[in-house]
Structure 1
Amino acid sequence: MKNFIFPVLARKAYAQNLQYRGTHAINTVASAIFGFIHVSIWIGIGENNTLGSYGVNGMIHYVAFNQVCLWITVFMTNGLGIIPSVRTGQISLDLMRPVHLFYIAMSREWGEIAYRLLYKSVPIFALYAITFALPLSAEPAVWLLTICALIMAAYMAICIQYLIGISALWTTESNWLVWVNTALVMLFSGYLIPVEWLPVWLRSISAYSFYPYLQYHPTRIYLGYENGGALLGALPWCIGLTLICILATRVVRGKLEVQGG
């Protein structure tokens, strides 16, 4: 049964987004412009600095590919849409379904990710490949490892948003967790600055978290700074977060409190 539900939910989520392609196109343009601004800042910094092992061109490519990855690994549906379902009481029906709540939410989000990949990440990647000469590797292994790293990154992001979503069952306001998570991603994922350039104490925190696997490692794998060894570090996080999501759902089933009645 689950095997049939996944493509149906993913396809419906994808199709629903197609109705808003015009609006989303504006977001894509804004994201691309923000990437240009980010690159310009690093070009200015690079005038008086060597920028470590990256160099100016390396940092341009690093920043550009990070911007491409954002729509796959960071910009998820807030709480996977669970927060409003708690407020309306829909969550009680979702928990009664014969399919696990995490599986339902995850299936929908993969459809969202597929849409964002095709209509946001790919256009931005093509633009940056032309304007910034973003490298196109001729090695199939690099593409395969990068795709695997991005899939695992997206899955970890889904797990985090799911946990944020079901936290709405214990608090009347959980949206703040979305913004806290976003701030932590910007700091620890290597998006704003490579992880190795962080202060020692922040670098240590980042190293013991899953955040570098969202942006830093996929980008470095694509640019050839790392091999597939980083995937071995991401796998335990994927397994651990899955178990936490399953356990949290079990707790939710044992004590369900729908706000407003």
Structure 2
Amino acid sequence: MVYWRIIRKSYRRNLQYRLSHLVNNLASSIFGLVFIAIWAGVLQGKQVHGPYDLQTMGQYIAVCQSVLWMTTFLSPGLTIPVGVRSGAVSLDLIKPVHYLWYMLCQEFGRILYNACYRSLPIGLLLGLAVGFHFPSSFYTCLLFVLSLLLGTFIGLLLFYLTGLASFWTTEIRWVHYILLSLVFGLGGQMIPLDLLPGVMGKIAPYLPFSCMIYYPVMTFLELAGPEALIVQGSWALVLTGIALAVTTLARRKVEIQGG
């Protein structure tokens, strides 16, 4: 129950900004339309071999823009650096809950808010432009929900590990920017990973960044099957183990900078 209360409080806290965020969704939708226009220019009038015709690519970008707000556009370092700088991390560490799950639950409340007030409106706006795709069966819907949850969990763990870097250094923006660059470049945000050239196209689908965007989107469009969950589940287990180990090290290293 304590974790559910943390999630609920985080969700309610973000409700104060829903009008501002709904307006901000227009900007995100415009970015999506720009990416769709780029692909329209590339594919217009060409014979396409494979699943990526003009409509499918438009829907791929539309779903990507929606998924980003749940798996990628998270708080930098899950706000851990803010607590380290202010000294509030000392209070978080002595709470009768595990620090990892406490920080993840706080951010998950924000993700639930994003799903309602960011992902859904953006998906509806872009769907009007490129057409809506609906999974053909309940089985596909179930696979998509599982894939999206795993992608969200992996994103949370990566951002959590980024935030833990602040226990050793007070400046983590460089780590955050590197992580975002890897996610956008190797996560399938603008181009499906199987279209990447050479060795990169063979390696990228097995990296954790693909689990955050590429696999949830491909599952929703019915271009990936249950095998996607194997890759995502494997990375979820590996990153959970790493996060727990690094959390133990961080508890021994923490230095209160302020407060």
The amino acid across from 2:188 in the alignment is G
What is the distance in 2 between the residues matched to 1:140 and 1:167? 41
What is the distance in 1 between the residues matched to 2:79 and 2:191? 30
Name the SS for the 1:203 alignment partner: helix
The 8 Å contact of residues 66 and 120 in structure 2, kept in 1 or not, is answered as yes
- What are the Cα deviations for residues 199-244 of structure 1, in whole angstroms up to 9, with x where unaligned? 2232244134111111111111111111122101111111111111
The amino acid across from 1:182 in the alignment is L
Q: CA RMSD in A?
A: 1.5
Map of 1:235 onto structure 2: 233
Map of 1:125 onto structure 2: 123
Identity of aligned residues (%): 33
Matches within 5 A, 1:3-14: 4-14=1-11
Map of 1:200 onto structure 2: 198
CA offset at residue 107 of structure 1?
0.8
What is the distance in 1 between the residues matched to 2:44 and 2:220? 25
Q: Paired residue for 2:56, among 37, 49, 58? A: 58
What is the distance in 2 between the residues matched to 1:7 and 1:156? 20
What is the distance in 2 between the residues matched to 1:259 and 1:50? 60
CA offset at residue 71 of structure 1?
0.6
Map of 1:16 onto structure 2: 13
Q: Does 1:172 align with 2:175?
A: no
Name the SS for the 1:143 alignment partner: helix
Map of 1:148 onto structure 2: 146
What is the distance in 1 between the residues matched to 2:121 and 2:170? 38
TM-score (norm 1): 0.94
The 8 Å contact of residues 87 and 259 in structure 1, kept in 2 or not, is answered as yes
The 8 Å contact of residues 187 and 210 in structure 2, kept in 1 or not, is answered as yes
User: How many residue pairs align between the two structures?
Assistant: 258
TM-score (norm 2): 0.95
The gaps in structure 1 that reach 5 residues or longer are none
**Which portions of structure 1, spanning 4 or more consecutive aligned residues, are displaced by more than 6 angstroms?**
none
Q: Paired residue for 2:242, among 241, 244, 247? A: 244
Map of 1:77 onto structure 2: 75
CA offset at residue 52 of structure 1?
4.1
What is the distance in 2 between the residues matched to 1:231 and 1:220? 11
Q: Does 1:104 align with 2:102?
A: yes
The 8 Å contact of residues 152 and 235 in structure 1, kept in 2 or not, is answered as yes
What is the distance in 2 between the residues matched to 1:56 and 1:75? 27
What is the distance in 1 between the residues matched to 2:138 and 2:180? 32
Change in 2 beyond 3 A, CA 1:216/1:51: farther
What is the distance in 1 between the residues matched to 2:224 and 2:202? 19
CA offset at residue 58 of structure 1?
1.2
